[in-house]
């Protein structure tokens, strides 16, 4: 006989309704919420204060253990990033096992073991529970925090940070949090290269000794285990864990803006703008309006039938998707609405966001929207009850947030009882349309002035700090003079023009694999060839000659379109600045910008067919230090060395969405004015 579950009951109700004789032009009226009997977690507490929750489920011979530490959020300050190392460092070895030994023992029994700054989790087959608990306890009690592992993790984190500096969504998240919470709040501070470098092994040991205490911990056990057995194994492995005082922290609650304000990160190579509109809200799990906020969000931006999605995607076609969230948090929650839109419709999209926010607060929701939202959320809630882990999480929430014991059993009843008036009141209580933080990450030259209609625009850098104030461009400075200064800086026009061709090889490493890039520039005859090898094997080639271009990837060749050839010509020349005028390129000086701490003139270079790149030339040295290309990404130039009387950047660092980490390519060989043949371009 089929086991009757909540999901089955809900689906049965829907099936019966579909056969009823109803007016199908109207959404069916919701019936009474089903009565839910959730299997309660059995609980007990050790003498050291560890609270244990057991959800027995013998469907599969597996068992999982999840240990959660309930501490206050931490402001890490000049050591921001510290907590990100804790879990990996605890897994890096114990007094009796090396990191490799831990990994091998876990893999041998087909188990899982993981640690974070606030949790330890493990799972295995029932027959291996003793072994996985031994490993879990060893990592919990005896970590050694090896220095060499921290140095390795720091390097990985620095690489990830460098990547995130050019990732629009990561930039948007930092900017939004900085504006909503402030940099002196745990949720607004950012991890920097300096703060990562400040973290020491002693800091990690201090964190571990301070916060890994049983009296602030909860252990959830889910699987093929009775309460009696759980008491036995938990006492065996966790009773010797010593309790201790854990510090508490309080923070001033961030207030909404006094008026709508706009934060902009100028990412010139972007063809899209990442928009996020947010404000802090006072909302925690279990609040009177928490369930109403779930329903409100479902209507406003919770899915493909929500108001934001239907407006910005289905009606306007500005984006692939627009969504919202009402995040609850013990400290401070956040309302957010976001989308990635085409650059040219940035201001129109922001207008529609604000229009929908105002409409939600002023006009409220309809009964039809409410009924649909309840139906969707009831189905999701019902399906969640099939997971024993969800039942354990419910038990943890009831304990951690001091919820009524029947909070989840009556969840659907509470939701079903919500009226249009209730939802409208929640919208008014949680959202103030006149005090929004509006953030945008995109091409500042195209969108900054348009965004000013929504509030005062402040420009930030890619880490969420106010952008450095750059000096104004001198009245007599032009794009042509910037290029003249660059040519003078590299050695002068005569020496630069003497370079007619160049053949060079660059080497980089991507995640342990060597990447070799071979380039041939024939500036005199407007020919160019590139070959990329991975591990010695040719992966990609491209050739531009006789006004045409071809590209090949792993042996599959295709001709470039006229537009692609037009764009490729920008990189065809070894010293492209010498040929801007002859090629008919137009130049526009777009002020002085901050490039990784260096003031630089930004010059927008546009081809006859409209392809553009942005070049940045140091105000002080005149040298080119960065190129932004909407197709290939950003390239930073450094380590200039003299070759044939001309300064050449011997290192190029490439940041692109097409590669997982920044690519540092160094020139290992270079020939100036070599003898070239037709074979070099076949």
* Rounded Cα distance, 678 and 522, in Å: 11
Q: Is the pLDDT of residue 108 over 50?
A: yes
The SS3 call for residue 560 is coil
**Residue 189, burial from CB neighbour count under 10 angstroms (0-12, 13-18, 19+):** buried
For residues 467 and 634, is the Cβ–Cβ distance under 8 A? no
Residue 422 tokens, joined: 């209730």
Q: What are phi and psi of 331, to 5 degrees?
A: -90, -60
Residue from 370, 366, 369 nearest 417 by CA = 370
Q: What is the pLDDT of residue 58?
A: 84
For residues 482 and 644, is the Cβ–Cβ distance under 8 A? no
* Rounded Cα distance, 481 and 281, in Å: 51
Q: What is the pTM of this model?
A: 0.82
**Residues 6 or more apart whose Cβ sits within 8 Å of residue 566:** 607, 608, 609, 611
Residue 189 tokens, joined: 């501070």
Long-range contacts of 379-385 (CB under 8 A, 24+ apart): 379/10, 381/411, 381/412, 381/415, 382/6, 382/7, 382/9, 382/10, 382/412, 383/7, 385/5, 385/6, 385/7, 385/36, 385/38
Residue 188 tokens, joined: 């607004």
Is the torsion defined by CA of 201, 204, 210, 215 positive or negative? negative
Q: What is the pLDDT of residue 36?
A: 65
Q: CATH 2.50.20.10 residue ranges in the chain?
A: 479-681
In this predicted model, what pLDDT tens digit does every residue of 505-532 receive, in sequence order? 999 987 778 899 999 999 988 899 999 9
Q: Is the pLDDT of residue 5 over 60?
A: no
CATH topology of domain 253-460: Cytochrome Bc1 Complex; Chain A, domain 1 (3.30.830)
Rounded average pLDDT over 9-30: 42
Residue 519 tokens, joined: 């380039």
The CATH code belonging to domain 42-166+191-238 is 3.30.830.10
Summary mean pLDDT of the chain = 91
* Rounded Cα distance, 517 and 525, in Å: 22
Rounded average pLDDT over 645-653: 95
- Please report, in angstroms and rounded to a whole number, the separation of the first and last CA atoms in the chain: 71
**Residues 6 or more apart whose Cβ sits within 8 Å of residue 553:** 539, 540
pLDDT band at 631 (very low <50, low <70, confident <90, very high): confident
In this predicted model, what pLDDT tens digit does every residue of 362-403 receive, in sequence order? 999 999 999 999 999 999 998 888 777 788 888 889 988 899
Number of neighbours of residue 129 by Cβ within 10 angstroms: 25
For residues 520 and 680, is the Cβ–Cβ distance under 8 A? yes
Q: Is the pLDDT of residue 638 over 70?
A: yes
Q: CATH 3.30.830.10 residue ranges in the chain?
A: 42-166+191-238, 253-460
In this predicted model, what pLDDT tens digit does every residue of 199-212 receive, in sequence order? 999 999 999 999 99
Residue 678 tokens, joined: 């037709």
Q: Is the pLDDT of residue 15 over 60?
A: no
pLDDT band at 7 (very low <50, low <70, confident <90, very high): very low
pLDDT band at 29 (very low <50, low <70, confident <90, very high): low
Number of neighbours of residue 584 by Cβ within 10 angstroms: 11
Residue from 436, 303, 285, 468 nearest 361 by CA = 436
CATH of 479-681 given 2.30.30.190, 3.20.20.70, 2.50.20.10, 3.40.1530.20: 2.50.20.10
pLDDT band at 3 (very low <50, low <70, confident <90, very high): very low
Beta bridge partners of 666: 507, 651
pLDDT band at 26 (very low <50, low <70, confident <90, very high): low
Tell how strand 261-266 and strand 456-460 pair up: parallel
């Amino acid at each position: 006989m089929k086991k009757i579950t909540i999901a089955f009951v809900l689906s049965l109700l829907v099936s019966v309704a579909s056969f009823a004789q109803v007016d199908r032009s109207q959404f069916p009226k919701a019936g009474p919420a089903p009565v839910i009997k959730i299997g309660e977690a059995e609980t007990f507490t050790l003498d050291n204060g560890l609270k244990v929750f057991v959800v027995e489920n013998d469907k599969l011979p597996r068992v999982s253990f999840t240990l959660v530490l309930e501490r206050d959020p931490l402001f890490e300050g000049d050591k921001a990033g510290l907590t990100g190392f804790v879990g990996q460092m605890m897994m890096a070895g114990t007094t009796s096992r090396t990191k490799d030994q831990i990994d091998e023992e876990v893999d041998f029994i087909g188990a899982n073991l993981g640690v974070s700054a606030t949790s330890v989790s493990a799972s295995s087959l029932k027959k291996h529970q003793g072994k996985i608990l031994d490993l879990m306890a060893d990592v919990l009690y005896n970590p050694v925090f090896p220095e060499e592992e921290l140095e390795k993790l720091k390097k990985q984190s620095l690489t990830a940070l460098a990547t995130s500096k050019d990732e629009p969504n990561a930039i948007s998240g930092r900017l939004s949090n900085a504006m909503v919470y402030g940099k002196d709040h745990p949720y607004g501070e950012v991890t920097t290269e300096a703060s990562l470098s400040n973290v020491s092994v002693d800091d990690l040991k201090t964190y571990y000794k301070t916060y890994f205490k049983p009296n602030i911990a909860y252990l959830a056990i889910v699987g093929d285990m009775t309460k009696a057995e759980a008491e036995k194994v938990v006492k065996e492995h966790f009773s010797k864990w010593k309790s201790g005082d854990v510090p508490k922290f309080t923070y001033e609650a961030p207030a909404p803006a006094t008026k709508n304000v706009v934060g902009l990160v100028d990412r010139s190579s972007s063809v899209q703008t990442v928009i996020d509109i947010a404000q802090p809200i006072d909302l925690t799990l279990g609040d009177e309006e928490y369930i109403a906020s779930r329903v409100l969000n479902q209507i406003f931006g919770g899915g493909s039938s929500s108001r934001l999605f239907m407006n910005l995607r289905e009606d306007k076609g500005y984006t692939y998707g627009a969504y919202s969230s009402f995040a609850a948090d013990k400290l401070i929650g956040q309302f957010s609405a976001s989308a990635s839109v085409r650059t040219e419709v940035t201001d129109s999209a922001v207008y529609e966001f604000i229009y929908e926010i105002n409409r939600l607060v002023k006009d409220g929701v309809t009964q039809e929207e409410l009924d649909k939202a309840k139906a969707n959320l009831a189905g999701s809630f019902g399906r969640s009850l099939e997971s024993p882990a969800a039942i354990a999480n419910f038990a943890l929430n009831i304990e951690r947030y001091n919820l009524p014991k029947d909070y989840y059993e009556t969840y659907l009843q509470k939701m079903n009882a919500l009226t249009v008036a209730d939802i409208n009141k929640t919208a008014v209580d949680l959202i103030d349309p006149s005090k929004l933080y509006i953030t945008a990450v995109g091409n500042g030259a195209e969108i900054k002035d348009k965004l000013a209609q929504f509030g005062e625009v402040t420009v930030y850098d890619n880490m969420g700090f106010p952008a450095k104030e750059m000096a104004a461009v001198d009245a007599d400075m032009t794009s042509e003079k910037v290029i003249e200064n660059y040519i003078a800086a590299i050695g002068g026009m005569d020496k630069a023009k003497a370079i007619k061709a160049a053949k060079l090889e660059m080497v980089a490493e991507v995640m342990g694999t060597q990447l070799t890039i071979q380039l041939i520039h024939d500036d005199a005859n407007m020919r160019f060839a590139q070959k990329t090898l991975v591990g010695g094997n040719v992966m990609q080639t491209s050739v531009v000659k006789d006004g045409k271009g071809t590209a090949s990837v792993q042996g599959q060749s295709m001709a470039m379109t006229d537009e692609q050839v037009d764009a490729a010509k920008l990189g065809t020349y070894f010293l492209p600045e010498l040929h801007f005028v002859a090629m008919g390129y137009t130049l526009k000086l777009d002020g002085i910008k901050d490039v990784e701490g260096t003031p630089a003139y930004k010059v927008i270079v546009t081809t006859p067919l409209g392809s553009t790149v942005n070049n940045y030339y140091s105000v002080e040295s005149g040298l080119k230090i960065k190129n932004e290309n909407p197709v290939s990404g950003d390239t930073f130039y450094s380590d200039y060395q003299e070759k044939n009387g001309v300064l050449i950047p011997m290192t190029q660092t490439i940041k692109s969405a097409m590669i997982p980490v920044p690519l540092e390519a160094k020139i290992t060989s270079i020939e100036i004015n070599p003898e070239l043949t037709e074979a070099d371009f076949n």
